[in-house]
Each structure stands twice: as structure tokens, then as C-alpha cells.
Amino acid sequence: MIGFWGWSSRTGSRQGHTGIQGIIGTYLWKLSRGEDLEIWGDGTVVRDFIYVKDMADICVAALESEKSGIYNAGAGEGTSVNQIVEAVRHATGRDFQPTYKVARAYDVPRIVLDIRRAQEDFGWSPKVPLVEGVAESWKWVQSQAAAVR
């Protein structure tokens, strides 16, 4: 049996965009609708983001292996909210100023996963850089937004 654990955030086509979770999807959809982006705090909160294709690859690698256990699935590196904003600017080609709001007390300052066990046991590593994943997600959001218009 294989289980994946982690507070990594997945990004990619069809990512949720309701504003509850999924900062990248939420930001991209808001921009596609001409809405402003909000950052809770100063933008230094760090999370570990993994692109959906990399997540699928680790699942396949786990299924094909003889290993069992709990594994972290992430990129193994942290990205701040401010860095996400820059990746979104780069992917969309839009210049915008997010609105900074009062920090939320429940936001953990930094979450970065240790993915070494998955790398060693499955011979797996994430391949899609964050900026590339955000750009691919933006293309998909644009195609969906155009279909709605």
C-alpha cells in the first residue's frame, strides 16, 4: 500500500479556483475575469508546489514499484506567495498590483516537503518548473474562459 502525504499545493489544468485553496488557480481565474488579487500578509508565506503531471508521474512510479509506505509528494522546494505573483505576472504578461491584507493567524509560515524517500524508492523527481506549470495552467484557463464568453 502506498500513501502520499504533504501540504504541497498542486497546480495545473482544472485546479480549483474558488478561493478556498489553490492560490495559483485562484489567481489565474481572477485575472481572466479582470478581478484584483489579494495576498494575506506580506507575501512571505512559503509552500511547496507540484505540477499535476509530476504528481501523476509519482503515482505511476509508486504503483509500478514494490515499495510500500507513506511518501511526500512535492517539489521539495519552497515558493513564497510573492514568488507566485511574479510567476503569474510572467505567465500572463499582465502587470498588476495585488492588494495586501492583514495576515491570517492560522497560516503556517513555511511548508516544504522532504521528497528524498520518494526520489530514492521510485527513482522519481519533479520535472516541471513552477513558471512552466503556471504558464501551462494559464493557457488552459484562457481556453476555458474563452469558451464561456
Region 53-80: mean pLDDT is 94
Q: Find the helix or strand (DSSP H, E) in which 58 lies.
A: helix 52-64
More confident call, 81 vs 18: 81
For the chain, domains (ranges, CATH) are: 2-144 (3.40.50.720)
Q: What percent of the chain has pLDDT over 90?
A: 81
- 16-50, pLDDT tens digit by residue? 545 557 899 999 999 999 999 999 999 999 999 99
Residue 12: what pLDDT? 52
pTM (2 d.p.): 0.85
Q: Is 139 left (phi over 0), alpha (psi -120 to 50) or beta?
A: alpha
Has residue 4 got a pLDDT over 70?
no
90's CB contacts (< 8 A; 6+ apart) are 131, 134, 135
